[in-house]
Amino acid sequence: MTEVVICVGSSCHLKGARRVVEGLTKLVTERGLTENVKLSGSFCMGRCEEAGVSVKVNGEIHFVDPDQIKEFFDNVIVGGNR
Ligand code: FES
């Protein structure tokens, strides 16, 4: 099980956290990975100064561009799941 926690604090919200949540939810469903990937939200992770939306994958923090969700999903979430 890969645990994915998306920051939905106000700064990440402004950077497109909602699109990240929606995009990842859609990809997880499309790929039939609902049993393998657990998505949840969290308050500010204290990394507001970074360029992207803060997303933790199995405890490791990444900064995600809402326009690059598919790449992030394939490289980090699916890639790290192998
Ligand atoms: S609001 Fe996301 S890191 Fe601060």
Q: Is the distance from CB of 54 to CB of 41 less than 8 angstroms?
A: no
Report yes or no on 80 lying in a domain. no
Q: How many CB atoms lie within 10 A of CB 13?
A: 13
In the block, which residue shows the tokens 């992207």?
52
Asked whether 7 lines ligand 1 (CB < 6 A), one says yes
Report yes or no on 18 lying in a domain. yes
Atom in ligand 1 nearest the alpha carbon of residue 13: 1
Sign of the C-alpha dihedral computed for residues 60, 64, 68 and 69 taken in this order: positive
Atom in ligand 1 nearest the alpha carbon of residue 11: 1
Tens of pLDDT along 23-43?
A: 999 999 999 999 999 999 999
In the block, which residue shows the tokens 């990240």?
20
Tens of pLDDT along 8-20?
A: 999 999 999 999 9
- The phi, psi pair for 68, rounded to 5°, reads -120, 30
**Domain range holding 59?**
2-75
Portion of the chain with pLDDT greater than 70, in percent? 96
Tell me the CA–centroid distance for residue 28 and ligand 1, in Å.
Answer: 23
Report yes or no on 42 lying in a domain. yes
pLDDT at position 79, please?
82
Report yes or no on 81 lying in a domain. no
Report yes or no on 61 lying in a domain. yes
Atom in ligand 1 nearest the alpha carbon of residue 45: 3
